[in-house]
Amino acid sequence: MSVTDTVTEAGGARPPATVRVWDPFVRGFHWSVAGLFVVAYATGDGVEWLHLAAGYGIAALVALRIVWGFVGSRHARFSDFVRGRRAVHAYLRDMLRLKARRHLGHNPAGGAMTVALLTMLSAVALTGHLMTTDAFWGAEWMEEVHEALVHATLALIALHVLGVLFASLEHGENLIRGMIDGKKRAP
């Protein structure tokens, strides 16, 4: 009898094998940006120094994530998960039919959402920074653009959460836990 034969759950079933998918940087980035976005949103009309600090923190993290998208671990690289429009549409169609193929890393829709969120967070940070410059200080239109980008980002976040919950149910795995411990069920 090998050591693996003695490792069982209650009732004699073996726990499913897992593999590490999300590296510590990706997980730390994900939860740090989520927390900083909440702080920035909550302090938008109140505590300016904290709002700015959260916004610059998000900008720095997004810049690091973009670099990590080219040099990071396998599933963190854009080349692993960025797909064309046809692949994303095909995945969404299959998802709605409950026939979507499971992916170890990001699925095509998740990859598109990652790119969309990185783009929107960059735009929010840029417009927020521009409002602190002499050229745009007090420019109401820039503030309106900034707020519209924030609301669009909130809509993307809602779609992201719904997509994660849907994929978790469809594939029978807890994707949220995977973004905490870095592990997913082995293929």
pLDDT in tens, 140-180: 999 999 999 999 999 999 999 999 999 999 999 999 999 99
* Mean pLDDT on 87-113: 96
Q: Show the DSSP H helices in 131-183 as ranges.
A: 140-171, 175-181
Q: Which among 27, 25, 9 is positioned nearest to 17, based on CA atoms?
A: 9
Q: Which among 165, 131, 161 is positioned nearest to 149, based on CA atoms?
A: 131
> What pLDDT was estimated at residue 2?
38
> What pLDDT was estimated at residue 10?
57
> What pLDDT was estimated at residue 9?
52
Q: Which residues contact 50 (CB under 8 A, 6 or more apart)?
A: 39, 43
* Beta-carbon count within 10 A of 56 CB: 16
Q: Any idea which residue has 């980008």 for tokens?
A: 149
- Secondary structure letter of residue 114 according to DSSP: H
> What pLDDT was estimated at residue 84?
96
In this model, does residue 14 exceed pLDDT 80? no
> What pLDDT was estimated at residue 128?
96
12: left (phi over 0), alpha (psi -120 to 50) or beta: left
Q: Which residues contact 14 (CB under 8 A, 6 or more apart)?
A: 7, 8
The domain locations on the chain are 24-185
In one-letter notation, the amino acid at residue 91 is Y
Are the C-beta atoms of 58 and 41 separated by less than 8 Å? no
* Mean pLDDT on 177-185: 95
The Cα 64–Cα 73 span in angstroms is 13
> What pLDDT was estimated at residue 138?
87
pLDDT in tens, 25-63: 999 999 999 999 999 999 988 899 999 999 999 999 999
Beta strands in 48-127 (DSSP E): none
The Cα 99–Cα 118 span in angstroms is 28
Average pLDDT of the chain to the nearest whole number: 92
